[in-house]
Amino acid sequence: MKRLSFIFGSMCLAMTQANAELIINGSTTSTVTPVQNSSASNQSYSSNNNFQNCIANLRSQAVASGVSGDTYDRYTQNLTPDYSVIDKLNYQPEFSKPIWDYMSGLVDQERVDKGREKIAQYRDVLNRVQAAYGVPAETVVAVWGVESNFGDISGKYPLLQALGTLSCEGRRQSYFRSEFFATMRILQRGDLTVDQLKGSWAGAFGHTQFMPSTYERLAVDFDGDGRRDLVSSVPDALASTANFLKKGGWQTGMPWGFEVKIPAGASVAGESRRNKKPLSSWVNRGFTRVDGTPIIQGNLSDSISAGLMMPAGANGPAFLVFKNFDAIYGYNAAESYALAIAHLSDRLQGKGEFVTPWPTDDAGTSRAERREIQNYLLKKGYDIGDADGLIGDKTRQAIQQEQMKLGLKATGRAGQQILSVLRNQNAGQIMQ
């Protein structure tokens, strides 16, 4: 689900494409407009009067979708636009994010430790969720951790304002209008209040970042209070996430996939997650699990199909992935995102890091290490905001300036290389 993490998570990687797309709960909206200066772009938007005219003209469509006239009038009477969401829709970052940076930030020891605490805290609920939907507790909690850092970061944008603005300005207005109307139907049924409906600029909300239309289809009342509440009820959010994965094809008792060793000299041209083959085919070609043990173990059989996924090419970690990986992929349609969820779920089960290293001489950093980098930059006088572990444009630009001073390649990446240099500099200052 995109979201904040997605928007918090895979958007960080997906939005680096030249023709980026916002993919939320399986729906895609193009975001190909070049970066614009915020103040300049705001001047090109419609006036508030035109926004009010647009909202008034949408009333009949809303009513046709099941929103009562009274509901629509109530929630649009004083609605004003927030054109900052158009800037975010148009935004294309200057810096790209390699897969190893993406993974190291989403699946770090900090998130693993907190995830295990949440599993212990909600063990009874998770046991009931697993019994009802067949999805392991670790997978559900992994989604929760990546989407909102276990509810800590779920978004600040009022959904009606954000989706109302996106319904009247920018691209894919029809998509955002459907989410705008879905938000009103949620309010109309009384499951949530306006104050609860705050989330990402694109409309995802709650502990596990459902879009309003996804909420309508798949949210469940698991705590039995008569309301489907993904904002204040952790049981509802966890069960709804499991329901999403089950409806997406999750197969109980089967793995999402595992890391494999590519045989020397094997041709992997044309292989992908979608190009699945029976496991017998991979065995006959000499593939094994990364630790050298046979591919076919446990509930697996020769006839079960899997695809080969190599997110960093044949020189990086490679994985055979099954239908359960596809179910995770459907939550937020990006392979990097699905791999982060899958890997975090494995780590929560006590499994280790990937065995094959990423093909880079400058590995990624954890959120704690990113905060460390930011603190060093703050000490040097860079205006980058708080040391929150979130690497935005200001932090990247500061890193880039430091790299240029040091004669390093000015990538702007918060990798191990710049961390090591900054640590050494700080140690030298302490010794003086």
- 26 pLDDT more than 90: no
- 266 pLDDT more than 50: yes
- 43 pLDDT more than 80: no
User: What is the DSSP code string of 276-318?
Assistant: -EEHHHHHHTT-EETTS--S--TT--TT-EEEEE-BTBTTS-E
- 92 pLDDT more than 90: no
- 45 pLDDT more than 60: no
Architecture of domain 1-252+322-360: Orthogonal Bundle (1.10)
> pLDDT value at position 24?
52
Residue 350 CB neighbour total at 10 angstroms: 9
- 341 pLDDT more than 50: yes
> pLDDT value at position 13?
36
Please tell me which residue, 36 or 256, carries the higher pLDDT value.
256
User: Model confidence over 143-160: pLDDT tens digits?
Assistant: 999 999 999 998 999 999
- H or E element that contains 13: helix 11-14
- 358 pLDDT more than 60: yes
> pLDDT value at position 18?
26
Nearest to 303 by CA among 286, 280, 319: 280
> pLDDT value at position 14?
34
Q: Where exactly are the structural domains of the chain?
A: 1-252+322-360, 257-320, 367-431
* Nearest-10 Cα torsion for 47, 48, 53, 57: 110
> pLDDT value at position 240?
98
- Mean pLDDT over all residues of the chain? 89
User: Model confidence over 175-198: pLDDT tens digits?
Assistant: 999 999 999 999 999 999 999 999
- Cα Rg, the chain, nearest whole Å: 23
CA distance 221 to 229: 7
- 422 pLDDT more than 70: yes
Question: What is the end-to-end Cα distance of the chain in Å, rounded?
Answer: 50
- 426 pLDDT more than 90: no
> pLDDT value at position 97?
85
CA 386 to chain CA mean position, Å: 22
User: What is the DSSP code string of 112-157?
Assistant: HHHHHHHHHHTHHHHHHHHHHH---HHHHHHHHHHHHTTTT----E
**145 neighbors 114 (Cβ within 8 angstroms):** yes
| Exposure class string for 119-148: b at 16+ Cβ within 10 A, else e | beebeebbeebbeebebbbbbbbbbbbbbb
User: Model confidence over 302-329: pLDDT tens digits?
Assistant: 999 999 999 999 999 999 999 999 999 9
CA 30 to chain CA mean position, Å: 17
List for the chain the helix, strand, coil content (%; round to 5): 45, 10, 45
Amino acid at 368: A
Query: What band does 427 get if pLDDT is binned at 50, 70 and 90?
Result: confident
> pLDDT value at position 8?
38
